[in-house]
Structure 1
Amino acid sequence: MGVGTKTLLLQFASFAILFLLARIGLIYFTDLSGIWLPLVAAIIATILAPQFKVFKTDKGDKICVRWIFLKGVKVLN
């Protein structure tokens, strides 16, 4: 599995987990229904999900993470 594929899977998994948590939270704490419930959950998950990027360096490809709860960029490998 390539580094780009790993990055894409990490991005999807983080969004999916935050989407489900936001949706469950919205079900319990709001009266949203219909299309509004998944729409608001998707917006919340998009804002809160970390961003994973691949950078090519001399030593190989590096996966970096940027998130609103972290200062700067963190290198994963």
Structure 2
Amino acid sequence: MGVGTKTILLQFVSFAILFVLARLGLSYFTDLQGLWLPVISAVVATILAPQFKVFKTDQGDKICVRWIFLKKIKVLN
């Protein structure tokens, strides 16, 4: 599995987990119904999900993470 594929999977999994948590939380604590519930959940998950990027260096490809809760960019490998 390539580094680009890993970053796409990490991005999707983090978004999916936050989407499900936001949707369950919003349905439990608010009276949102219909299309508004998944739309607002998607916006919340998009804002809160970490972003994974691939950078090519001399040592090889590096996966970097930028997140709203981290002050600096973190290198995973």
Q: Decide: shared fold, TM above 0.5.
A: yes
Correspondence 1:1-77 to 2 at 5 A: 1-77=1-77
**Once the two structures are aligned, what percentage of the paired residues are identical?**
81
Q: Structure 2: where are the runs of 5+ without partners?
A: none
Counterparts of 1:42 and 1:30, CA distance in 2: 16
Q: Provide the secondary structure at the position in 1 that maps to 2:68.
A: coil
Counterpart-to-counterpart distance in 2, 1:76 and 1:41: 27
CA distance in 2, matches of 1:49, 1:58: 29
CA RMSD of aligned residues (A): 0.2
User: SS of 2:56's equivalent?
Assistant: strand
Q: How many residue pairs end up in the alignment? A: 77
List per-residue Cα deviations over 1:34-71 (Å, max 9, x = no partner). 00000000000000000000000000000000000001
TM-score by length of 2: 0.99
For structure 1, the 5+ residue unaligned runs are none
Give the residue type in structure 2 aligned to 1:42: A
Q: Structure 2 CA distance, aligned partners of 1:27 and 1:37?
A: 7
> Normalised by the size of structure 1, how large is the TM-score?
0.99
Structure 1 residue 72, shift from structure 2 partner: 1.4
